[in-house]
Amino acid sequence: MTRPACALWLVAALLGGCATTTAGGDVGDLAGHWLGSVFETGSWLIIGNSAVDVTIAPDGTWRGTIGRMTASGTAGRRGDLLVLDGFASSPDGRWQSVYYGLKGDGSVRWGAISTPFNGVREDHALVSLRKTS
């Protein structure tokens, strides 16, 4: 199993256990435009920060940007979590998997993830999103 796939499996197991995910379907009040940030938390020398700008469609798809990367995938619910699952690609052709399991309500969402920063190092981070429309 590749490192990104292994990390994706670990995050999924930690966040949801054996719960089922409703992905690519009706996301109800979670559809709309969301803005926020990803802040690196596991580093003490270098601290990464990326802006997040995503739109979730009523059909359960999402697209937007994470830092300088273009991203898209499916959105769904796993218990009380909003799950954004998909891929992001950078202008130089690098790609990474995206798996955000976010707690909250119809206007604010947050969660802890493991993600690559600048395509160089993988570290722990916090994601926070606020619905704008």
How do residues 25-72 score in pLDDT, each as one tens digit? 568 899 999 999 998 886 666 677 889 999 999 999 999 999 889 999
Average pLDDT, the chain: 81
What is the distance, to the nearest Å, from the Cα of residue 105 to the centroid of all Cα atoms in its chain? 16
Which pLDDT belongs to residue 102? 96
pTM assigned to the model: 0.76
Q: Is the pLDDT of residue 123 over 60?
A: yes
* Measured torsion, CA atoms of residues 100, 103, 104, 108, in degrees rounded to the nearest 10: -20
How do residues 84-104 score in pLDDT, each as one tens digit? 999 999 888 888 889 999 999
72/18: higher pLDDT: 72
CA-nearest of 127, 112, 124, 96 to 3 is 96
